[in-house]
Every structure is written in C-alpha cells, then in structure tokens.
Chains A and B, each alone.
Chain A
Amino acid sequence: MSTATLHETTHHDTHGDAHHDHHHQETFITKYVFSQDHKTIAKQFLVTGIIWAIIGGLFSVIFRLQLANPEATYPWLEDLLGHWAQGGKLQPEFYYALVTMHGTILVFFVLTAGLSGTFANFLIPLQIGARDMASPMLNMLSYWFFFLASVIMMSSLFVQTGPASGGWTIYPPLSALGDASSGSKIGMDLWLVSMAMFIVSSLLGGLNYISTILNMRTKGMSMTRMPLTIWALFFTAVLGVLSFPVLLSGAILLLFDRNLGTSFYLSDIVVAGKILPNEGGSAILFQHLFWFLGHPEVYIILLPAMGMSSEILSVNSRKPIFGYMAMVGSLFAITILAFLVWAHHMFVTGLNPFLGSVFVLLTLLIAVPSAIKVFNWLTTLWKGNIRFTPAMMFAIGFVSLFISGGLTGIFLGNSALDIHLHDTYFVIAHFHIVMGVASFFGMFAGVYHWYPKMFGRYLNNTLAYIHFWVTIVGAYLIFWPMHYEGLAGMPRRYYDFSNWESFKMFGSLNQFISIVAMIVFAVQILFVINFFYSIWKGRKVKDLNPWNANTLEWTTPLRPGHGNWPGDIPEVHRWPYDYSKDGKDFIAQDVPVGADESKH
C-alpha cells in the first residue's frame, strides 16, 4: 500500500520502521520521557498544562482574596508567600506580579501550549491517518523547549525580587528598565528568556502540524474530508508560525534595550530623579510588535476549542455538522482578519483616528465569520438526537460562552466606546469569557471526549457533571458582574479600590466574585483529581468506538502503540460527518461508499 511505503521512507532517518515497533524494545526513558510518539508528547503537554493551570488559577484566587477584603490580614498567607505577604497582607508589588504571571501562565503555558500542544499532537496523526508527525524529532524538541521554558518561568517565581510584574503584555518602559520596579529586575529577564524558549517550542510544533496535515494524510483523506478539528488546528498553527516570530523580534529589541543600552523603546525617561540618556525610542513601537502577535494569539487559543467543539457537537447530536465548507471558510476568514486588527488594542495610544476607524471596521468584520460559526453550531444541534455526555455539555457551554463574550467584543471594537471602556473590568469580563473560559470549555470538552483514547479508561461521569455545572454557573457569576463594574469605570490591575468613593459601592460585589472564584477553583481541583484517579482506576474502555464516531482515531486499537495502526492505515472513503444517514446511525470514514448510497 502506497501510504505505508511513503511512511517508511519519511520516517526512515529518525525512527526506523515505526509501524513494527509494537515489538521493538523501548526503554522507560524513550517511551515516557524522551518519547517521539505523538500520543505521549500530547500527554506530556497536557499534564504540564494542568500543572500550570493549577498554579495560574491559584494565583487568581490569591489576588481575588486581596480584592475581596483589601483590609484583612491572613496569617497563613505569610506562611505561604513569606515576605510577599508581610503580616498576612499581600504586598502591592506582589499583587502585580501575581496578575502578570496569571496572564502569562494562562495565555501562553496553558491555553497555547497546553491546548494546541495536547490536541494538535494527539489528534492530527490519528485523525488524518498518519503514523506520526512529519518530524517526530522536532516534535519531541518542541515539548522539551516548552519544558525548559516552564522551568525558567517557574524559577522566576522564587527569585528575591519576584517574577515579572509589568502585566502579561510587558510594555516598556516597565519591562525595559531594571530600576523601574522590583518585577523589572531578574524576574523580567527570566520572563524574556523563558518566552524565547516558548516561542521556539511553538514554532517547532507549528511547523510540524502544518507539514503533517498537508503531506501525511492517508489515502482518500482529501482536504475536504478532514474533520473540522484538523482544519482548526491547521489554521492555529498557521497563525502561530506567522505571528510568534514578530513577537520574537519585538522581544529581541527589548533585550537590547534592557541589557545593551539601545533606545528602541525608550526616550526621555526619568527614573528616581535620574535622567536616562536614552533618546529616540518609542514605547508604542513595542505595542505594535506585541499586538501583531497578541491578537492572532487569542485565535491561537480559541480556534482549537472551536474545532473540537464542532466535532463533539456533531458526534453527540448524531447529525452531520451544518455547513462544513462555511465552517472551514469562516476559520480561514478569522485567520486572515486576525492579522489585520491588532491596533484595536491601541485605540487610546494616540493612534490616528482615521487609522483607528479602519481598525474598527476590520475588527467588526470578525463578527461575520463568528456569527456563521455560531449559526452552524446551533443548526447542528437543532433537532439532533442529542446525547448529553460531559464532552457535549462542555461543547454546548463553549458555544454559550462564545456568544456572550463575543457580543461584548462588538462594544470594545468600537474606538469611540473603547476610549471609555479601555483598561476597565469590562475588558477583563470580555476576554475572560470569550477567550479564557470558552477555550477552557473547549479544552475540557476535548479531554472528556478523547480521554478514552488517551488512557483507555473513562473519567467519572458524576464528577464530570458537577464540574460542568459549577464551572459554567460560576463563570457567569464571576464575569457577568464585571461588565457593570467596567461600565462604571472601575480600572483593571488596581490593588485596592476602597480608596475611591466611586468604586466603594463595588466592595461587596467584589467579595461575591471572589467567593465564586474560589468555589470554581475548588471544582477544577475536583476535575484534576478525577483526571489522575481515572488514569489508573477509571472504568476500562471495552468498546473500540465508545462514542460511535466516524473519525479515524477510533479505528485504532484500544491502546495504540507507536505507529497507531498495527496493520495498514485505513483508507478513507467519505467525509467524517455521515451521521443518521440512509437509516444508519453513523458510517465511519473508512467504510466504502455503497452503490445505492445517497449524497450527503
């Protein structure tokens, strides 16, 4: 079979005869640590992502504690954080560090590496019918660069002057001048080095995902027969490969400013009464370079969740996805537009109002593909024979959050309104719902759906339903009130609001938000317990295809080895959404088209 031959030649230099290696000897190190198997690498990304999510989530609990009771002291906090919480009260400098690290961790380490890293690695070869990635070696390096980035970022939490604290966007001059704040010192250096490693990791990953999808599909798997998950992961990788290098160039210039006395971003600055010699730089230049990545980044986070939700909604509605080509087209449109809207983060930087209005138009255009996607998700659900599996609940939750969060995007995308809303809690509410929580829901949906394939066991359903209901109700209770706070002008990143007459009235609301945040965090711990407990003790999967899905990953053995299929890779004869067709509940992709079969 031609596929097998192709595979053998492509893998020859790195892995020998990959598809015979059920039999070949693997040591513990090559199997679990320096593994080149995409499935193991995916699990490594997932577990590292979960560890980061716990840390990043815990940080938000600690700073919410401060926002709830700005005057209170907690002696146990001093035991936990030492001099950062002297007398049991969080220090302002460390509050900023926590906010910065919460953003950095969740945006990059959890929702970029943890999400794309996990599901692109796990699903791409399995769903397109490949034995592994185009370059398993680069794939392994991708994880280990991420691991290195993680270690460096983690170590920055323990340095004397604390981690970076200038916000996750690391705007200069705070990030460029070591004397600007305690978080601008070694913590900032470690942040930059860690992010450089992180960028290398995502580029290596992205290169692999694109090449694999375009070159390694099995026989019959034309582009229009690919599951939407794969399409979404493809566009995610394209976004990453084209936008991360620009952040890298911005970061390189920042490193020069920090360490070699150049003035790319610095001009006419006085620190502690001392006039700096830097002249001719512009801090706005950094914002342009940062947001040229920063905006595509939110779609790097969101698109995998969109793809997985599309797949899960179709499987569990027992209906074909509505408007497959429109779904692909809207993913494409979002990818293009993602590169053309970055200045909507910069409406208040003194941007030329005419240029601003161009960016308003381009920003609002994103509503079109987004609305197409929402319409198609809802019409997929419409009159479906819905199975409310935990994955399905989270996928529906994703759609709900995407709608509510997307609507506030229309407010913020208007430069006139944004001047009022910029840097308020309205922005916090918007991006947490539409990007943060929504993508988490997509990620949870993916974990619940593909867990049986990953570990050969099921997660506990009762815990899963508790996890879902508390999280979705909690997410709305946390972020919905923030819209009101933001409209009233309450600014983000403040340590203590009790000194402002106008924000005093939000004291009890902030307490309420903090309490819900803690409950939601506790439920995530429940999920983590469920996750690790079920790896060893969960109910065993007996059915090769537990969700009766059409895609190729369910044609592999229960616990596929490296190479995925023990024999030949199945040939694909149809698209992946033949559900409830010709009286059959589902027809898998590797089933040949019958003579009397109707068109879909």
Chain B
Amino acid sequence: METEAIQPRNKIHPHKFTLWVGIGSIVMMFAGLTSAYIVKRNQAGWHTFELPIAFWYSTVVILLSSVTIHLSLKAFKERYMLKYRRLMLATLILGLLFVATQFIGFTEFWKTGMTLQANVAFSFLYVIVGLHGLHVIGGVLGLIIMLLKTFSTKKRNYSIVSVELMLTYWHFVDILWIYLLVFLIIIR
C-alpha cells in the first residue's frame, strides 16, 4: 500500500460538520417544495399574488439579527461575556420580531382573501414560508438555551463550538429567507 500523507482529521469539529450535512438536508426539503411550486405554477388555475408588506420588515429584522449574532461571536472570542450576553439577547429579540412580522404578514395576506384553501398558489406560500418560520423558531429556542447557559453559575462553559454552531445555523435561516423572498418575487 502506498504511504500517502494522512489526512488531518481535526480540521473541522464533527458537530459542525454534522450541522452542515443537516443544512444540506434542509436545503433538499426546500428544493423539493420550491420545485413542486414551479411545476404547479406552469399548470392551469394558478393565481399570482403580491407578498405582504410585513415580509419586508421581516427581511430587515433577520438581516440585522445576523449582524448582532456575528458581533456576539466576536465578543465571545474576546471574552466580553456581558457584551456577548447582550448581543445574544438582541439576536433573540430580533428572532422573535421576525416570527411576529411573519405572522402579521400572514394575517394581512389572509384578510385580502388569499386564504390557505383559496388557491394552490397561496397554499404553497403558507407552507413554504411557514416551514421556514418553524426553522427560525427552532433557532430561537436554541438562542434561549444558550442565553440561559450564560447565567449558569454552576458550570462555566467557555466552549466556542456551540456558539459557532448557532451562528452557522442562524446565518443559514437568514440566507434561506433571502432565497425564498427572491424566489417568491421572481416566480409567482
């Protein structure tokens, strides 16, 4: 057997790698849904729609939250734990604000007669955007757990891995939202 160089195995933390594969998996789910959407759009009986205004506020909010979580990682690295905690709290609030604006958007949409059952186009919008919302809520739960951890006096957890995992996931749901927004504007 040839004596090739041994690959370094600790380049990336296994949990981070697992998250990336998981992200690939979530991407496949949304790829499935958006391609189903494209197929349906080319068939008869499709109604076009305007996205609710509130979704634009959602976009601003989630972009801001990506900035705050990024700064919180920086603070964590510099061991400014108070700053880190504040920025995490800010991210958490922005995350909740995102969910709220999404909800407002849905109600706005519903009130103009574009209900879940009215047309398959609207059904798709509720399902796709709603599923993304669930992923954000999952991230919010993660943020809450991490924030609670910073108050724990029993165990000083200075592992950066979980902070970085959270950061990656949060950026992912942000980018996913931008993709969905652009997708729903271009193809409707």
Contact = CB atoms under 8 A, between A and B. Distances in A.
Given A210-B21, A211-B18, A285-B36, A262 B28 contact: no
Interface in B89-110: none
A241 B43 contact: no
Contacts of B1: 225, 573-575, 578, 593, 599-600
Contacts of B46: 280
Nearest to A218: B9
Interface of B: 1-4, 6-7, 9-10, 12-15, 17-18, 21-22, 24-26, 28-33, 36, 39-40, 43-46, 116-117, 119-120, 123-124, 127, 131, 159, 161
A245 B29 contact: yes
Contact of B18 (A134, A224, A578): A134
Interface residue SS majority, chain A:
helix
Nearest to B159: A13
23 contacts: A3-B9, A6-B10, A10-B13, A10-B15, A135-B18, A207-B18, A207-B25, A210-B18, A211-B17, A241-B21, A241-B24, A241-B25, A242-B25, A242-B28, A245-B29, A248-B29, A249-B32, A261-B117, A262-B127, A280-B45, A292-B32, A574-B1, A599-B1
Interface of B is mostly: helix
Interface in A238-295: 241-246, 248-250, 252-253, 256, 260-264, 277, 279-282, 285, 288-289, 292
Contact of A262 (B18, B22, B117): B117
Interface in A87-144: 134-135, 138
Counting from the closest, the 8 A-B pairs by CB-CB distance are: A245-B29, A134-B14, A280-B45, A246-B32, A249-B32, A262-B123, A245-B28, A211-B18
Contacts of B9: 3, 6, 215-217
A212 interface: yes
A599 B2 CA distance: 8
Contacts of A215: 9-10, 12-14, 17
Interface of A: 2-3, 6, 10, 13, 134-135, 138, 203, 206-208, 210-212, 214-217, 219-220, 222-225, 241-246, 248-250, 252-253, 256, 260-264, 277, 279-282, 285, 288-289, 292, 573-575, 578, 593, 599-600
B25 A245 contact: yes
A574 B6 CA distance: 12
A600 B30 CA distance: 46
Nearest to A293: B32
A214 B17 contact: yes
B15 A134 contact: yes
A219 B6 CA distance: 7
A505 B101 CA distance: 68
A249 B33 contact: yes
Contacts of A253: 33, 36, 127
B29 A256 contact: no
A212 B39 CA distance: 37
Most buried by A among B36, B45, B119, B159: B36
Given A207-B22, A256-B127, A279 B36 contact: no
Given A256-B127, A280-B46, A288-B39, 14 more contacts: A2-B10, A206-B21, A208-B18, A211-B21, A241-B28, A245-B32, A246-B28, A246-B31, A249-B32, A252-B131, A263-B123, A285-B36, A285-B39, A285-B40
Given A261-B116, A263-B120, A282-B40, A242 B131 contact: no
Nearest to A247: B32
Contacts of B2: 599
Contacts of B40: 264, 280, 282, 285
Contacts of B18: 134-135, 138, 207-208, 210-211
Contacts of B116: 256, 260-262
A203 B127 contact: no
A134 B14 CA distance: 6
Nearest to B157: A13
A243 B14 CA distance: 22
B41 to A, nearest CB: 11
A260 B130 CA distance: 14
Contacts of A207: 18, 21-22, 25
Nearest to B12: A215
Count chain A CB atoms within 10 A of each CB in B12, B14, B119 and give the residue with the most.
B14
Contacts of A223: 7
Contacts of B6: 219-220, 222
Nearest to A217: B9
Contact of A242 (B15, B24, B39, B43): B24
A573 B45 CA distance: 64
A427 to B, nearest CB: 25
A260 B117 contact: yes
A206 B24 CA distance: 12
Residue of B10, B45, B120, B159 with most chain A CB atoms under a 10 A cut-off? B120
Contacts of A292: 32
Give the residue among A138, A248, A574 with the most B Cβ atoms within 10 A: A248
B134 to A, nearest CB: 10
Nearest to A279: B45
A593 to B, nearest CB: 7
Contacts of B15: 10, 134-135, 211
A279 to B, nearest CB: 6
Contact of A281 (B17, B33, B120): B120
Given A219-B6, A242-B25, A260-B117, A212 B14 contact: yes
Nearest to A574: B1
B185 to A, nearest CB: 21
